[in-house]
Amino acid sequence: MGNTSALGANEEAVRRVAAWIRDSRQTVVLTGSGMSTESGIPDFRSQGGLWARVDPRRVATVEALEANYPEVRDFCRKRIEEIKRNRPHRGHEILAGWEHDGRVRAVATQNIGGFHQIAGSRTVHELHGSLRRFHCRECGRPAAEEEFLDGRPCRHCRGRLRPDVVMFGELLPVDVWDAVVAAMHAADLVLVIGTSLEVYPVNQLPALSQGRRVLINLEPTDQQALFDEVLLGKAGEVLSAIDREM
């Protein structure tokens, strides 16, 4: 069973994690929706999250792309506007800085807004794809955001355009998944940030590492035993506290 520390209550734990990051040669980060909500992006699954107001079957399934295409586009447009209205926070910047300093090897994320890249992270594995890229369902060629939002067909084959996000009923992108599995196997330290690890199969990833595992999250998880340290708090604040100790 790992230790659970409310930030402030346990500066010792923050120092310990900072030392682990300093000593690590292969730190891999896994981020979830909590990382984005601190930037003002509503999450999908929580109580009061987007899926409490919008039926995902109408806007986020392969079937919806067929049957409710205008509604899917409208839903995506709102999400894209949210992303554009908001910015990465200090936590994103710290992770990017650690990568730049050679401390973080890769960031795997369930978030689709591209904030890690905007903040400067270079090796980002987007497990659920990205709402900043689009392609044709038929021929797979890339398309522009405006083309998708305007409801235009593919320039090449007249097929229907869609965002590069993983819809319900779709598998995670195999190349991304394989890269994250390899990164986890190689990791001697895994930082899980902003997720309670409720969603399969992503929740299986941290256990692949033989190294230390740290959870930074607002709430505890029922997978607490998986972690050597649990720091409860906002990602931006906890990462800032760790960064000050580095």
The smaller minimum CB distance to Zn ion, of residues 6 and 139, is found at 139
CA separation for the pair 178, 36 (Å, rounded): 24
* Cβ-contact 79, 134 below 8 angstroms: no
Scanning residues 25 to 64, which ones bind Zn ion (CB under 5 A)? none
Residue 136 marked ligand-binding: yes
Each residue 85-124 as x (binds Zn ion by CB under 5 A) or -, in order, gives: ----------------------------------------
Q: Is 116 a catalytic residue?
A: no
Question: Does residue 157 touch Zn ion according to CB under 5 A?
Answer: yes
* Residues facing 232 on adjacent strands: 6, 217
* Cβ-contact 191, 30 below 8 angstroms: yes
| Residue 115 one-letter amino acid | F
Residue 154 marked ligand-binding: yes
Each residue 134-153 as x (binds Zn ion by CB under 5 A) or -, in order, gives: --x-xx--------------
Question: Does residue 245 touch Zn ion according to CB under 5 A?
Answer: no
The smaller minimum CB distance to Zn ion, of residues 19 and 157, is found at 157
Q: For tokens 């209205």, what's the residue? A: 85
Q: Is 4 exposed, middle or buried (0-12, 13-18, 19+ CB in 10 A)?
A: middle
The smaller minimum CB distance to Zn ion, of residues 29 and 154, is found at 154
**Residues 128, 135, 156, 185: which is the catalytic one?**
128
Min CB(136)–Zn ion separation in Å:
3
Min CB(77)–Zn ion separation in Å:
21
Question: Does residue 154 touch Zn ion according to CB under 5 A?
Answer: yes
Min CB(141)–Zn ion separation in Å:
5
Min CB(73)–Zn ion separation in Å:
17
Min CB(162)–Zn ion separation in Å:
11
Site size toward Zn ion (CB under 5 A) is 7
* Residues facing 5 on adjacent strands: 231
The smaller minimum CB distance to Zn ion, of residues 13 and 136, is found at 136
Residue 139 marked ligand-binding: yes
Residues annotated in a binding site: 136, 139, 154, 157
Residues designated catalytic: 128
Residues annotated in a binding site for Zn(2+): 136, 139, 154, 157
Residues that bind Zn ion (CB under 5 A): 136, 138-139, 154, 156-157, 159
